[in-house]
Amino acid sequence: MLKWRISVIAEMPFFDRVSRRIVRSQRTCMSDIGVVEPSSKGAVFLSSEDMVWLERITYGPTGATLTRYRELGRQAFLAEQLQGADGGLPASVQTAIGTMDISQLDLPALQQQRNEALAQARALPDDMARAQAQREIRQRGARLTNQARQRNLLRAVHSPAQLREQMVWFWLNHFSVYSDNSWFVADYGERAIRPHVLGRFRDLVLATLRHPAMLAYLNNNQNQKGRINENYARELMELHTLGVDAGYTQQDVQALARILTGVGIDTGRPMKLGDKLAAQVVQDQGFLFDPRRHDGGDKEFLGQAIAGGGFDEVERAVDIILAHPACAGFIARRLVHYFAGEHPSGALVDAVAKRWRDTHGDIAAALDTLFNAPDFVAEPGRRFKDPYRFVVSAVRLAYDGQPVADPARLVAWVQRMGYSQFDRITPDGYPLADAAWVGSGALSIRFDAARSLAMAANRAMTATGSPVLTASPLYEQTLLPRLSARTRVVLHRTRSESEAAVFALASPEFNRF
How do residues 411-434 score in pLDDT, each as one tens digit? 999 999 999 999 999 999 999 988
Give the lowest-confidence range in 171-180, 202-211, 370-379. Answer: 370-379
Q: Please, which pLDDT band fits residue 34 given cuts at 50, 70 and 90?
A: very low
Instruction: Report the pLDDT value the prediction gives residue 41, as an integer from 0 to 100.
Output: 53
Average pLDDT, the chain: 90
Q: Is 322 in contact with 205 (CB distance < 8 Å)?
A: yes
Contact by Cβ (8 Å): 39, 30: no
State the pLDDT at residue 25.
36
What stretches of 122-272 adopt beta strand conformation (E)?
A: 263-265
For residue 191, what is the DSSP state? I
Residue 252, phi then psi, degrees to nearest 5:
-65, -40
What's the pLDDT score for residue 275? 79
pLDDT attached to residue 383: 85
- Return the DSSP state at 466: P
- β-bridge mates for residue 284, sequence order: 287
Candidates 6, 457, 367, 426; CA nearest to 217 is 426
In this predicted structure, the answer to whether residue 284 has a pLDDT above a threshold of 70 is yes
Q: Is 512 helix (H, G, I), strand (E, B) or coil?
A: strand
CB 417 within 8 A of CB 442: yes
Q: Does the pLDDT of residue 8 top 90, yes or no? A: no
Q: Which residues of 27-63 are buried (b: 16+ CB within 10 A; e: fewer)?
A: eeeeeeeeebeeeeeeeeebeeebbbbbbbbbbbbbe
Q: How much is the average pLDDT of 46-65?
A: 95
pLDDT at 225 over 90: yes
- Is the per-residue pLDDT at 343 higher than 60? yes
pLDDT per position as a tens digit, 264-276: 999 888 888 887 8
Which of 17-26, 106-115, 295-304, 330-339 has the lowest average pLDDT?
A: 17-26
Residue 511's nearest CA partner among 339, 382, 341 is 382
With H, G, I as helix, E, B as strand and everything else as coil, classify residue 449. helix
Contact 181, 213 (CB under 8 A): no
The pLDDT tens digits for 79-135 are 999 999 877 899 999 999 999 999 998 888 898 899 899 999 999 999 999 999 999
Looking at the predicted structure, is the pLDDT value of residue 438 above 50? yes
Calpha distance 136→290 (Å, rounded): 31
Residue 396 pLDDT: 98
Confidence check: pLDDT of 24 > 50:
no
- Whether the per-residue pLDDT at 481 is higher than 70: the answer is yes
The pLDDT value recorded for residue 496 is 93
Q: What is the pLDDT of residues 149-170, one digit of tens each?
A: 999 999 999 999 999 999 999 9
DSSP-derived pairing of the beta strands 263-265 and 287-289: antiparallel
The more confident residue out of 137 and 9 is 137
Pinpoint the alpha helices (H) of 245-359.
250-259, 275-278, 311-323, 325-340, 346-358
Cβ neighbors of 506 (< 8 A, separation 6 or more) are 8, 9, 12, 15, 446, 447, 450, 451
Predicted local distance difference test score (pLDDT) of residue 4: 33
Q: Phi, psi at residue 339, to the nearest 5°?
A: -90, -30
How far CA 144 is from CA of 215, 258, 286, in Å, comes to 19, 34, 17
Assign 439 a pLDDT band (cuts: 50, 70, 90). Answer: confident
Average pLDDT over residues 355-380: 94
End-to-end CA distance of the chain: 18
- 231-259 burial, b for 16+ CB within 10 Å, e for fewer? bbbbbbbbbbbbbeebebeeebbbbbbbb
pLDDT at 344: 83
Confidence of residue 341 (pLDDT cuts 50, 70, 90): confident
d(CA 170, CA 93): 23
Compute the C-alpha angle 469/475/481, nearest 5°.
Answer: 140
Residue 349 near residue 329 (C-beta atoms within 8 A): yes
pTM exceeding 0.85: yes
Look at residue 44 in the predicted model and tell me its pLDDT. 65
Long-range pairs for 15-24 at CB < 8 Å and ≥24 separation? 15/447, 15/503, 15/506, 18/490, 18/493, 18/494, 18/499, 19/490, 21/493, 22/489, 22/490, 22/493
Structure letter (DSSP) for residue 295: -
Alpha carbon of 278 to those of 225, 282, 457, 463, 497: distances in Å? Answer: 17, 9, 58, 63, 69
Residue 304: strand pairing partners: 301
Look at residue 378 in the predicted model and tell me its pLDDT.
81
Asked if pLDDT for residue 468 goes beyond 90, the answer is yes
* Average pLDDT over every residue of 249-278: 91
Which residues have CB under 8 Å from 206's CB, separation 6+?
Answer: 315, 318
* Model pLDDT, residue 311: 97
Cβ 165 vs Cβ 159: under 8 Å: yes
Residue 43: pLDDT band (50, 70, 90) is: low
CA distances in angstroms from 27 to 22, 32, 52, 436, listed in the order given: 10, 10, 32, 36
Report how far residue 438's alpha carbon sits from residue 448's, in angstroms, rounded to the nearest whole number. 14
Determine the distance from the C-alpha atom of residue 33 to the mean position of all C-alpha atoms in its chain, rounded to a whole number.
41
Residues 256 and 231: beta-carbon distance below 8 Å: no
Confidence class of residue 45 from pLDDT cuts 50, 70 and 90? Answer: confident
- Gap between the Cα atoms of 437 and 499, Å rounded: 23
Side chain identity, residue 474: L
Asked whether the predicted pLDDT for residue 494 surpasses 70, the reply is yes
